[in-house]
Amino acid sequence: MKTLEFHHDEEKGRVTVTCATGEVSVYSHCAYCKHCNGVQVGRRVLPSPPQKMVSGPRGAGFDEELLNAAMMFNSLVRDGEAISCNDKEGVGFTSMYRR
């Protein structure tokens, strides 16, 4: 398990981490990466809401629930310091939606 520290760019409103594929946006990459275990807030690692949604049962309102999970992830990033990453092979960003 790796800890990827946040790099804040206040001018552009971005938060990035140094991934195996290079510098990537937390909002557009880590939120949808199958290696993301969650966001480190203080001493705790809070699980990634989009990961929990994809791994759970899918109901009729799945799209809306996934959007809510993405918004929750953004809130966690705002309060957090790092991403907990489970990329043991060092392949970098891998979409959780591809099989």
Please, what is the average pLDDT of the chain?
A: 87
Task: Please give the average per-residue pLDDT across 14-28, as a whole number.
Answer: 91
* Entry pTM: 0.81
12 pLDDT band, cuts 50/70/90, is confident
Strand order in 7-9's β-sheet?
A: 7-9, 14-19, 22-25
pLDDT at 99 over 60: no
Question: What are the tens digits of pLDDT across the range 40-67?
Answer: 999 999 988 888 777 766 666 677 888 8
Q: Give residue 61's pLDDT.
A: 67
74: nearest Cα among 99, 96, 98, 46: 46
- By C-alpha distance, which of 51, 89, 49 is closest to 69? 49
